[in-house]
Amino acid sequence: MDIKYTIDKVKDSIQKGGNNLVDKSQNLLEISKSSAKVSSLEREVEDLYEKIGRRLYKDYKNNEKVSDYYVKHCKQIEKLKKDIIYLKKGISKNKNKKLCKNCGEELDSDAMYCSNCGSKQ
C-alpha cells in the first residue's frame, strides 16, 4: 500500500472522527435546549390548567352555572379551605396569635385592628 495513501486515509478518518464529535456535542446541545424548552412549555400548560381551574372555582363561588362534574370538586375545595382555616386558627391560637376576620392575616391576639387590611377585630 502507498504510504501517502495510508496517511491521507488516517488524516481523513481523524478529521471525520473530529467532525463527528462536534456533531455529537451539537446534537447534545440541541437536545438539552429542546428539552429545556419542552419543560418550560409544559410548565406554561400547567399554569393555564391552573388558571382555568381557578376561574372555574370563581364562577362556582359566584353562583354561575358550572357542570356537575366540577361542582363536586368545587365543594371539595371549599371543604379543604375550611379545614385549612380551622387548622390555621388552631396554630395561631397556640402561637398567641389570631387571624383577621376579614383577610385572614395573622395578628397578635390582642390586636384591635388588622395590620394588613385595617379591619376592626
Interface residues toward Zn ion, by CB under 5 A: 100, 102-103, 105, 114, 116-117, 119
* Measured CA distances, 76 to 23, 37, 120 (Å): 53, 35, 31
User: Is the Cβ of residue 74 or residue 114 nearer to Zn ion in the bound state?
Assistant: 114
| CA 106 and chain centroid, separation | 26
Are 121 and 100 spatial neighbours (Cβ–Cβ below 8 Å)?
Answer: yes
State the nearest-atom distance from the C-beta of 102 to Zn ion, in Å.
4
What is the spatial distance between Cα 96 and Cα 93, in angstroms, rounded to a whole number? 5
CB closer to Zn ion, 74 vs 99:
99
Q: Which is nearer to Zn ion, 31 or 117 (CB)?
A: 117
Provide the minimum distance between the beta carbon of 105 and Zn ion in the complex, in angstroms, as a whole number.
5
Minimum Å distance from CB 120 to Zn ion? Answer: 10
Other Cβ atoms closer than 10 A to 60: 18
Q: How far is CA 110 from CA 15, 30, 84, 88, 113, in A?
A: 80, 60, 23, 17, 9
| Nearest CB to Zn ion, comparing residues 74 and 107 | 107
For the bound state, the minimum distance from the C-beta of residue 108 to Zn ion, rounded and expressed in Å, comes to: 13
